Amino acid sequence: MHFFTYKGNKFYAEGVSIEKIVKEVGTPCYIYSHKTLIRHYHAFDEAFASVPHLICYSVKANSNIAILKTFINEGGGVDIVSGGELYRALKAGVNPKKVVYSGVGKRADEIEYALKTGILMFNVESPEELRAIDRIAKRLKKKAGIAIRVNPDVDPKTHPYISTGLKKNKFGIETSRAIQEYVYAKNNLKNVIPIGVDCHIGSQITQISPFADALKKTKQIISTLRNEGIDIKYLDMGGGLGITYKDEDAPHPSKYGKAVIDATKGLNITLIFEPGRIMVGNAGILVTKVLYTKQGTEKNFVIVDAAMNDLARPSLYGSYHAIKPVTHPTPPFNKGGGEIIADVVGPVCESGDFFAKDRPLPAFKSGELMALMSAGAYGFSMSSNYNSRPRACEVMVKGNKFSIIRERESYKDLIKGEKRLK
């Protein structure tokens, strides 16, 4: 559920009309609803209210420090995958003891930064990484809490690019090897302390069964490890819960919560979650202006001022984002019907630069605004400067007020750090 709705024929974010925001900040712009973020956080938190748990929001989904702070204020921690994400989270005020660090390629300087910060645990993805963490921790005279990310070989039934828990994926360590590594760490590595087991199987998962399958395997691992005298205190289930972009029947966190709680009864463990998309996906939109319309010989095109550099998901995964007119003469335009069938495309010089293909739409005209829905996750955070396009600004709406939480980039920003050789 989110708080983007029509009031009359005008599209609003909470109590502020999108038109009003655009008048002040221009296009393209990302607009987030604070109330939606809070609602999503609490829906997840309440799903696990009856058991010890920690929500470590996955920073990569949307890394703006205002978003991070919103969740941190509610008691959340973070899941990071780089030194840069750790830096952002610390700037947002995260408690280091609520930070988990995932990713297959942690650099030595990043490991050192995390150790000095005193994070809760590293989610280790290879035997070599485990030894590197131990070595660096020894040099710094620190102890590193670790979990091994186990690769359970389950099919999350999602887009192949965002499946991570299959044997052929680069992520995690296969079960029996993971157990060997825990035992090796316990006996030989004095500066790592195995405290958790981690398992993240993929993203935009809209069924409970893949999570349940993964959980079955991780529970067996935990019991084996405890029999070996390894004191596992945390089970990190990763993120991955999907959302509705179009007509997906994504499970509510409470359904996911019930399944996880039932399956972990008696395990005596603190659950960690790394939700990203479900927290921010439907809490953000990308607003863009129609520049031109054009009738090709085979297709209609609506050319807008946002592009694949602003929102890469359609180009990368063929993902669907609903499109809503910011002003519509016959509200509400939400039945999926339309007056034209068109491709919505951006100005970037690639045929893959599109937001929609053969989509029924109202007959958009030059100068009109459209909202690309469900753009809060993996939208701005995956944006780039391709074609030397300054990145969009980001705006947070809170009730009847809005604030810019990231300025639009300038041309000067584009060449920051570049040197013109003589």
CA distance 361 to 340: 5
Question: For residue 416, what are its two tokens?
Answer: 């920051």
Q: Cβ 196 to ligand LLP, closest distance in Å?
A: 13
Least gap, CB of 103 to ligand LLP (angstroms): 7
Write the interaction track for ligand LLP spanning residues 122-161; mark x where CB under 6 A is met and - where it is not. ----------------------------------------
Distance CA 210, CA 206 (A): 9
Q: Applying CB under 6 A, which part among 176-184, 220-228, 235-243, 289-297 lies near ligand LLP?
A: 235-243
Q: Can you tell me which residue has the tokens 């040197």? A: 419
Which residue among the candidates 29, 56, 199, 349 is catalytic per the annotation?
Answer: 349
Applying the rule CB under 6 A, the residues between 151 and 210 that interact with ligand LLP are 162, 200, 203-204
* CA atoms lying within 13 Å on the CB side of residue 245: 18
Q: Examine residue 110 and tell whether it contacts ligand LLP (CB under 6 A).
A: no
Between the alpha carbon of residue 19 and those of residues 12, 16, 283, 307, 368, the distances in Å are 8, 9, 18, 20, 10
Number of residues this chain uses to bind ligand LLP (CB under 6 A): 21
Ordered strands of the 16-17 beta sheet: 4-7, 10-13, 16-17
CB closer to ligand LLP, 242 vs 362: 242
Nearest approach in angstroms of CB 138 to ligand LLP is 26
Note whether 53 binds ligand LLP by CB under 6 A.
no
If one asks whether residue 321 binds ligand LLP (CB under 6 A), the answer comes out as no
Can you tell me which of 378, 392, 396, 402 binds ligand LLP, judged by CB under 6 A? 378
Q: Is residue 48 at the binding interface for ligand LLP, with CB under 6 A as the rule?
A: no
Tokens of 341: 């069938």
Residues 6+ apart with CB under 8 A from 148: 123, 124, 130, 172, 173, 178, 181, 182, 194, 197, 198
**Does 284 engage in binding with ligand LLP (CB under 6 A)?**
no
DSSP for 315-361 reads HHH-----EEESB-SSS---SS--SEEEEEE-SSSSTT-EEEEEEEE
| DSSP 8-state assignment for residue 56 | E
Asked about 349 being catalytic, the answer comes back as yes
Residue 101 as a binder of ligand LLP (CB under 6 A): the answer is no
Stretch that binds ligand LLP, among 35-43, 234-242, 264-272, 325-333 (CB under 6 A): 234-242
Site residues, ligand LLP (CB under 6 A): 58, 61, 79, 102, 162, 200, 203-204, 238-241, 274-278, 313, 317, 377-378
Active site residue ranges: 349
